[in-house]
Each structure stands twice: as structure tokens, then as C-alpha cells.
Amino acid sequence: MRRRNLLKTARFSKEVAKLPRKRVALLFSGGTMLSEKPRPWEIVKKPEHMRRWLDNMSEINVIADVEPVFITGKGTLEIGPDEWLAMAEAVRRLHQSVDGFVVLHGVETLHYTANALSLMLRNLPFPAVVSGSPLRMPGLGVRQVEFAARANIINAVQVAAADVAGVCVVFGNRIMPAAQVQPVMAEGAFQLVTAETALLGRVDFGTKLFENRTKRSNRKPRWSIHLDQHVFVTTITPAVSASSFRLAIRGDFHAILARLHELVSLPDYVEREFRRALKHGIPVVLSSRHPLPGMVEFISLLGVSPSMAVVKTMWALGATREAGKLRKLLEQNVAGEFIQGGAA
């Protein structure tokens, strides 16, 4: 009886205290499932599935008006350059009609998407939040994992409506710059992290934004929405096969990206193949933790995460295939992607 009366009081209040209402675009690109055992409504494979998902996540409406935008129904491992471009285009298309964006995303490849968006969507005067939550966590049951996932979405929408600007990632209690997130396995679970000093804010009892964040403003966004997917990506290990590089030279690739995160020099036979690639007009980008002496003809990409190395090469190649300009783009700090102390 008492409960009914309480609700009645709220229901029949004639006036409502006004607060400027924020409008947030929700970009559906995976990340809609709340646990390993999803109910049918959690799966959003087609645009018509978005409404039933939103109906079951009505708590979002408390924070903001939601504009659903369907990007893809693919699984997280299938999300790549085409989807990154579609997300960036959606932000460009809608940015004047909303206050912020949330990209719903599966966690495994979330850092690639975040890195790509940070390069394509620069100088944003509003937030674009990429967010996802693991479908399993050690020691937690299905329901607890679901609650955590729901809370993560709430946090992401809250950040998208808050006084912060630029592409950022909300994962657990961390609000991070998208250009600097890296995946780690910590405490037995998949996590996305960044350096403590790079954090833009933290979720404790609400979202607390730090002073080092960029605030909302009226500045003009810089759209650089282009990616060239024709990048041959390889990791250099002592046993790497030379024939794979020959394939890259013969194939339809516009650049070779070699990641040397565990090495400080190239094996001779690999170096020879890379010089051959240069002769064929295919630039070679070496992504490493440390400077590689005596390899000035190759483009050095130092101090970025492995995922950023991939998307930055695609992004720069999308802007130019001219070797000198490509080198300049790759070596300059575009979106704060250079990690102090080196990439993990």
C-alpha cells in the first residue's frame, strides 16, 4: 500500500523539474550481449533488433535521449576497416544533432576500433565513447557479469553526455584516451588499460573527469576519414619466412608493416626482402619499442601500441602513398598515440 502511494506521488506530479536533456547517438557494432548466455533480445544483428534491445535497457533513458544507429551485426573479430569507416562517417553525419556518441563494441578488438577512430575523428568538440564489457569474468556468475555490462553501458552514456571531448574509451572504472588504450590480461581477465597519468577520468561513485581531459567547446572537428586496407602486416620473429614477403611484393599490397616488438634488429634475409619491396615502390614500416640503427630507408614507428601501428599505417596510407609524406604522417603525433615509456 505504502509503495503504491509513493509511486502515485511521483506519477501525478504535474510539473517536472527541467534539466537540459542530452542526446546521445548509440552506434550498434556488437557489444550488445551482456553475458555468455545472451537472451534473444541482447543479440542485435539487424537494424530492426535495436528497438527491442533499447526497450530492455530503459535505464539509459534516465541519462539521455538515445538515437540508435546500426553499424554492423558482425562479431567483434570480424570488425575491421569497413566498420571503422562506417562509424566515423556516422559521427560526421550526426554530430550536429547529438551531444555525444557511444560505440557499443565487443571487447576483443575494441582497442583497434578506438585507435582507428582517434585518428579519423580529431579535434572533436564533443565525446565519442567506445565501450564494451567482457562476457565472462573470473569469480562472477552470469547475472553479475550482466550487471557489470549494464553498468558499463550506463557509464559510457554518462560520459558521452558529460563535459569531455574527443574519442575515448570507457572500460570498467577507467575513462581513457582512445589513442592510448592497450589490452592486457590482469587479475585473470581481459582488460583495457592506459598509463595512470593518461587517464581522463575514473568511475567511482559516478564519473569523475580529470583536469587533463579536453573539455567540450565550439572548435571545428578535423575529419580524416580514410583507410587503405592494403597493408601486409607481419611480426618479425627469428623463424619468419622470407617467402611471405615475396607474396606481399607480388600481391596487391601498398605497404608492409613489420612489428618487431621483441627484436632490436632485422635478420639479414628479412632486411634484403624489405629492400626489394622498396624497389617495387612498397614502403616498409617498422614498428618497434626501440630505435633501429642503420635502417633509415624504412619508416620507423616508435612508441605506439601494436594495434595503433596497424591502424595508423592504414590511416596514413589512406591519406597518401607518396613515401616522403607517408613517413611524415607516420612519424608525427596525430592523436596522442605515442605512449610515454613505450608501448606494452
Identify which of residues 157 and 270 has a Cβ nearer to other proteins in the complex.
Answer: 157
Retrieve residue 267's grid coordinates.
635478420
Burial group, residue 205, by CB count within 10 angstroms (0-12, 13-18, 19+): exposed
| Eight-class DSSP state of 90 | H
Tell me which residues touch other proteins (CB under 8 A): 3, 6-7, 9-11, 13, 15-19, 21, 58-63, 147-148, 150-151, 153-155, 157-158, 161-162, 171-174, 186-187, 189, 191, 193, 203-207
Give the nearest distance from C-beta 144 to other proteins in angstroms: 9
Give the nearest distance from C-beta 159 to other proteins in angstroms: 10
Give the nearest distance from C-beta 235 to other proteins in angstroms: 28
Identify which of residues 55 and 211 has a Cβ nearer to other proteins in the complex.
Answer: 55
Report phi then psi at 169, rounded to 5: -120, 130
Beta-carbon contacts of 317 under 8 Å, excluding residues fewer than 6 positions away, are 227, 228, 230, 231, 254, 255, 326
Question: Pairing relation of β-strands 23-29 and 65-72?
Answer: parallel
Give the nearest distance from C-beta 9 to other proteins in angstroms: 5
> Which residue from 194, 114, 206 is spatially nearest to 162, judged by alpha carbons?
206
Identify which of residues 6 and 264 has a Cβ nearer to other proteins in the complex.
Answer: 6
> Which residue from 330, 340, 312, 266 is spatially nearest to 81, judged by alpha carbons?
312
Identify which of residues 94 and 148 has a Cβ nearer to other proteins in the complex.
Answer: 148
SS3 215: coil
Identify which of residues 61 and 244 has a Cβ nearer to other proteins in the complex.
Answer: 61
Beta-carbon contacts of 254 under 8 Å, excluding residues fewer than 6 positions away, are 228, 230, 231, 282, 283, 317, 321
Give the nearest distance from C-beta 192 to other proteins in angstroms: 8
Give the nearest distance from C-beta 311 to other proteins in angstroms: 24
Residue 200: HSE in the Cβ half-sphere, 13 Å Cα cutoff? 25
Identify which of residues 17 and 239 has a Cβ nearer to other proteins in the complex.
Answer: 17
